[in-house]
A and B are shown apart, each in its own frame.
Chain A
Amino acid sequence: MAIDTNVIFSRPKALSENITHYCPGCTHGVIHRLVAEVLDELGVRERTVGVAPVGCSVLAYNYFAVDFIEAAHGRAPATATGFKRIRPDMIVFTYQGDGDLASIGMGEIVHAANRGEKFTTIFVNNAIYGMTGGQMAPTTLPGQRTTTCPQGRDVSLAGYPIRMVELLSGLRTPAYLVRVSVHSPLHVVAAKKAIRRAFQLQVEGRCYSLVEVLSTCPTNWGVAPTTATKWLADNMLGYYPLGTYKDPDQEVR
Chain B
Amino acid sequence: MTKKLMKGNEAIGEAAIAAGAINYFAYPITPQSEVAEYMTWRLPEVGGVFVQAESEVAVGNMLLGAACTGKRVFTTSSSPGISLMMEAMSYMAGDHLPVVIVNITRGGPGLGGILPAQSDYFQAAKAGGHGDYHAIVLAPSSVQEAVDLMILAFDLADNYRTPVIVIGDGMIGQMMESVEFPAKYREPVNPETKDWPLTGAKGRKARVIKSLFLDPKLLEKNSFDLAAKYKVIKEKEVRCELYKVSDKNRLLIAAYGTMARICQTAIDELEDEGISVGLFRPITLFPFPEKEIFRETAKANIRAVLTVEMSMGQMIEDIDRCIKGKKPLDFYGRTGGIVPTPNEVKDKVRQMLAAK
Residues on A facing B (Cβ under 8 Å): 16, 45-49, 51-52, 58-59, 61, 64-72, 75, 78-87, 90, 107-108, 110-111, 115
Query: Which residues of B in the span 38-94 have a Cβ within 8 Å of any Cβ on A?
Result: 49, 51, 53-55, 57-69, 71, 73, 87-88, 91
| 4 A-B pairs with the lowest CB-CB distances in the bound complex, closest first | A82-B65, A82-B66, A79-B65, A82-B62
Assess the A83–B91 pair: CB atoms within 8 A: no
Stretch at the interface among B202-210, B217-225, B250-258, B333-341: B202-210
A88's closest neighbor in chain B, by CB?
B49
Please tell me which one of the listed residues A16, A78, A90, A108 contacts residue B206 in the complex, with CB atoms under 8 A apart. Answer: A16
A/B interface sample: 14 pairs, CB < 8 A: A46-B200, A46-B201, A51-B65, A67-B206, A70-B210, A70-B212, A71-B64, A79-B62, A81-B51, A85-B62, A90-B199, A90-B200, A108-B57, A108-B61
State how many angstroms separate the Cβ of A176 from the closest Cβ of chain B: 21
Q: Could you tell me the distance between the alpha carbons of A64 and B59 in the complex, rounded to whole angstroms?
A: 27
Q: Is B25 an interface residue (CB 8 A)?
A: yes
Tell me the total A-B contact number using a CB cutoff of 8 A: 130
A66 to B67 CA separation, bound complex (whole angstroms):
18
B301 on interface, CB distance cutoff 8 Å: no
| Complex-state Cα separation, A68 to B23, whole angstroms | 20
The chain B residue sitting closest to A52, CB to CB, is B210
B198 close to A (CB within 8 Å): yes
Query: Which of the listed residues A59, A84, A85 has the most CB atoms from chain B within 10 Å of its own CB?
Result: A85
**Chain A residue with Cβ nearest B23:** A86
Answer yes or no: B343 CB below 8 A from chain A CBs.
Answer: no
- Check: B211 CB closer than 8 A to any chain A CB: yes
Which residues in B have their C-beta under 8 angstroms from that of A79?
61-62, 64-65, 68
Question: In the complex, A249→B235 CA distance in Å?
Answer: 60
Count of chain B residues near A, Cβ 8 A: 38
Known: A46-B203, A82-B25, A85-B66. 16 other contacts (CB 8 A): A51-B65, A61-B210, A67-B207, A70-B208, A70-B211, A72-B87, A75-B61, A75-B64, A78-B65, A81-B53, A82-B51, A83-B198, A85-B49, A85-B62, A86-B23, A86-B69
Of the listed residues B54, B59, B201, the one surrounded by the most CB atoms of chain A closer than 10 A to its CB is B201
Contact B201 A67 (CB under 8 A): yes
Taking the nearest CB of chain B, how far is it from the CB of A14, in angstroms?
Answer: 9
B residues less than 8 Å from A72 (CB atoms): 61, 64, 87-88, 91
CB distance from A243 to the nearest CB of B (A): 28
How far is the CB of A58 from the nearest CB of chain B, in Å?
7
Known: A78-B58, A86-B71. A68 touches B206 (CB 8 A): yes
On chain B, the residues within 8 Å of A45 by CB distance are: 201
* Chain A residues within 8 Å of B67, by CB: 82
Which B residues are in CB contact (< 8 Å) with A52? 210
- Specify which chain A residues have a CB less than 8 angstroms from the CB of B53 in the assembled complex: 78, 81, 111
Do the beta carbons of A61 and B208 come within 8 Å of each other?
A: yes
CB contacts (< 8 Å) of A83 on chain B: these are 65-66, 68-69, 198
Q: Are B87 and A69 in contact (CB under 8 A)?
A: no
Q: Which residues of B contact A87 (CB under 8 A)?
A: 69
**Contact between B58 and A111, CB atoms less than 8 A apart:** yes
Task: Assess A47 versus B200: contact at CB under 8 Å? Given A72-B87, A86-B66.
Answer: yes
Q: Is the CB of A80 within 8 A of B65?
A: yes
Determine which of B62, B87, B200, B202 lies in contact with A81 in the assembled complex, contact meaning CB atoms within 8 Å.
B62
A47 to B199, CA, bound (A): 7
Partner of A108, one of B58, B73, B198, B201: B58
Q: What residues on B are CB-neighbors of A58 within 8 Å?
A: 212
Residues of B within 8 A of A90 (CB): 199-200
Chain B: minimal CB distance from A18 (Å): 11
A78 touches B68 (CB 8 A): no
Set of chain B residues within 8 Å of A69, measured between Cβ atoms:
64-65, 68, 198, 208-210
